Amino acid sequence: MKESKKNMIFYTLIFSNLVTYLVILALWISIPSELTLNLSITFFNLCFSLLLIIKERDRFEKIYTSKKFKKISEVLGSSFLIFCILCVINHLFYKNPKGWDLTKHKQNSLSPETVNMLKNLEALPEIFVFSRKQNKGAIEALFNLYKLEKSGFKISHIDAELRPDLLKKFHVKKVPMILFKNGFREKRIFSSSEASVTNALVTVMRKKDPLIYYSMGHQEADPFERGKDGVSHLIKLLEKSLFQVRPIHLASLEEIPEKVDSLIIWGPREGFHENELKTIDLFLKRGGKLLIGMDPDFGKVDKLQSLRNLINEWGLKVNNDLVVDSLNNYAGSKGSIPLIKNFPKNDPLTKNFKGPLFFPLVSSVEKGKDNGGKYLFPVKTTNIPASWAEKTKQEVNSGRVTFNSGVDKPGPISVVGAWESEELKKKTKIYAFGNTSFVVNGYANFGQNFAFFLRGVSWLHQGEKILSFTVPKIKDAPVFISSPQLGVIFYFSVLFVPLMMFSIALFIYRRSVRS
């Protein structure tokens, strides 16, 4: 009886010792940063194992000299080799991480804009994350998505509770806070969203934030108007996309300052004076960038004819007509609001862009005077006879438009055009739209329209990867696991399942021995 009791105690101690090793392994995998805890438990269990071997050396001697132990040793040796191979494979995957997002709307991935921006970054800033332990996991998970797309991120996680000296050194008054440093430029953010992180990366890697002048004084779309016909939402997106936008009256300027990167003329209804046209022309001659949008005007006199002539001389012609698409259009518009779904895959303005786009009452845009350079016409309607550019004012004003061969221009019709000069140092660029109302406040929920506009601004500024994530309805965000959920996963996968498998294996082994 005493011998049986001793055996029971012995096997219980052995089993406890093995289970503790499994727990130690799980601790080293799940919380490698807790060195004191991990080392203490490991050292304690090794000492416990050593004491067991010394006290029961006779029993152990019989065990490890038996044939069964040799067979078990072979199995354990093979298992160890397999484990080592898996470790090597895991290390390779860790060094070269890849991810697959199987969700419908790619909610656990970075947006295409962020991915493109990362691909174009030649260098990366230093990143310092100041947070408490409860915030660290979520921030770390977000940056892991960035590491999947681009290796080389240097991220220092600083515990705000353990390192108050570093908080004082970096003048951190609020946590969590993420600091991006690139030489003398730095950016601090207090939000761990993709939009905030990506915009911070763009900001800190730029030499300066581009400056845009927004033309006023000709009844242009009002940048301050918050009603449905204003463009305050668009201006807000530009500012969130790290641009400085300043409204300006061209009549008050003799020339546009050198510090200005681009000029926007959006939806004017009154004509431009000769001096204003000269100012625009001089700006383009020195390599300026112009974004212009003109709506069709079917009144008796086209007040914008002089402006159209100037743009035509530079290479793009914004016609005063009405584009009709009877096949693809916004419901109930009878073709006057073309809906465009297909885009050139290799065009820099539409690469990876899915759309759709719609343009209420839009004019056609085509090649103007041939000055050489490069032309882009990324947005076109469907083919004849479904679409055409209506040239007859009387038909437009009556509301009954029909295609008249020899008068109207047959489709496909371009409604957006871009041109850039061939000069390398001062590359003039013009980006022209035949409609401006597609980005008014009333359409703020139609994210693709605004995203396409921002792509154009990006192209104007030498491909700067600007971003705004406030437009799309679907929010791109990784899935973060809470501490209780992590605990359930840990205990179930690391402890419960291995113990269950070990128990089943022991039961099968004892049964085979008896038989």
The string of pLDDT tens digits covering residues 229-245 is 899 999 988 887 778 89
Residue 278 included in any domain: yes
Residues 116 and 178 in one domain: yes
Q: What is the pLDDT of residue 330?
A: 78
The answer to whether 267 touches 299, Cβ cutoff 8 Å, is no
How does DSSP classify residue 265? E
Peptide bond into 385 cis (omega under 30): yes
Residues in the chain: 515
Indicate whether 102 belongs to any domain: no
| Cβ(266)–Cβ(215) below 8 Å | yes
- How many domains is the chain partitioned into structurally? 4
Tell me if 448 is assigned to some domain: yes
Under DSSP, is residue 358 helix (H, G, I), strand (E, B) or coil?
strand
In a domain, residue 402? The reply is yes
Q: H or E element: which one contains 158?
A: strand 154-159
Q: What domain range is 278 assigned to?
A: 207-460
Give yes or no: residues 119 and 213 share one domain: no
Preceding amide of 112 cis, omega within 30: no
Mean pLDDT of 214-231: 91
Average pLDDT, the chain: 81
Q: What is the CATH number of the domain that holds 409?
A: 3.40.50
| Last residue within a domain, chosen from 171, 203, 235 | 203
Same-domain pairing of 272 and 324 = yes
- Residue 417: Cβ within 10 Å count: 25
Tens digit of each residue's pLDDT (9 = 90 or more) over 109-131: 777 777 877 877 778 888 999 98
Same domain, 449 and 417: yes
Q: Residue 328's pLDDT band (boundaries 50, 70, 90)?
A: confident
Do 148 and 234 have their domain in common? no
Measured distance CA(26)–CA(17) in Å, rounded: 14
**Residue 31: its pLDDT value, please?**
76
Asked if 378 and 345 count as a contact pair (C-beta separation under 8 A), the reply is: no
Q: Do 166 and 21 share a domain, yes or no?
A: no
> Tens of pLDDT along 159-176?
888 888 888 888 888 888
- Same domain (yes/no): 197, 222: no
pTM of the model: 0.63
Measured CA to CA, the distance from residue 257 to residue 283 in angstroms comes to 9
Report the pLDDT value the prediction gives residue 337, as an integer from 0 to 100.
Answer: 86
Q: Tell me, what DSSP letter sits at residue 122?
A: S
147 vs 105 pLDDT, higher one? 147
Q: Determine phi and psi for 339, rounding to 5 degrees.
A: -115, 115
**In a shared domain, residues 243 and 357:** yes
Confidence check: pLDDT of 363 > 90? yes
**Does the residue 22 lie in any domain?**
yes
pLDDT at 482 over 50: no
Same domain for 39 and 155?
A: no
Calculate what percentage of the chain has a pLDDT beyond 70. 86
Q: CA nearest 326: which of 245, 436, 403? A: 403
What one-character-per-residue DSSP string does 426-450 give? S--EEEEES-SGGGSGGGTT-HHHH
81, part of any domain: no
Q: Is the pLDDT of residue 90 over 70?
A: yes
Stretch (H or E) spanning 292: strand 289-293
Q: Quick one: 120 and 253 in the same domain?
A: no
Residue 358: per-residue pLDDT: 87
Round to whole Å and give the CA distance between 284 and 340: 30
* Gap between the Cα atoms of 246 and 235, Å rounded: 10
Calculate the CA 136 to chain-centre distance.
21
Residue 292 and residue 266 in contact, taking contact as beta carbons nearer than 8 Å: yes
Q: Is the pLDDT of residue 4 over 80?
A: no
CA distance 451 to 252: 32
Residue 190 vs residue 105, higher pLDDT: 190
In the predicted structure, residue 383 carries a pLDDT above the cut 80: no
Residues 6+ apart with CB under 8 A from 400: none
Q: Which amino acid is at 335?
A: G
pLDDT band at 34 (very low <50, low <70, confident <90, very high): confident
Percentage of residues of the chain with pLDDT beyond 90: 22
